[in-house]
Amino acid sequence: MKHAPPGYECPFCGIAETLPSPASESAVVLVETNVYALIPTLCYAGIKGNCLVIPRRHYENVLDMPDDLGSDFFRATRRLAQAMLTAFGCNGISTRQHNGPAGNQDVWHYHLHVFPRYAKDDLYARPKAPYTVEERMELAATLRAALQ
């Protein structure tokens, strides 16, 4: 299942190439050997602080992922979930992942969404909207501090 158009320039690979560690002026919140996490450009339903967990190597979708990356994703997701609970006081965490056009995938590099959740927040019923640059940097700084 390959859907990236010819000549696709992967934005997540471009970010991965620059990652020795999360910079204080960056939306990146976590950098590990095989994965990293960042605050994306969009929030969903006005719920701030969502993250993407992304492999540092390029895999288009879940069908391309090697099995041994599973523990890296689980560890990073669990660490982000704990940081979100601490930093944002949310009541829960949701994760979601998309594969292929029919699955709503729109970046052709595997990534896992991690959302802070609140009672009756209507995550799946309300639209997504762009963060300001300042919001992304502030949320990233807050999560980096909570990950320490």
The answer to whether the beta carbons of residues 126 and 46 sit under 8 Å apart is: yes
The structure tokens listed for 28 are: 């990146």
- Return the pLDDT at 21: 63
User: Cα 38 from chain centroid?
Assistant: 5
Go through the chain and tell me how many residues it has.
Answer: 148
Whole-number pLDDT of residue 115: 97
Over residues 11-24, the mean pLDDT reads: 80
According to the model, what pLDDT value does residue 24 have?
Answer: 64
Q: Domains plus CATH for the chain? A: 11-147 (3.30.428.10)
The share of the chain scoring above pLDDT 70, in percent, equals 95
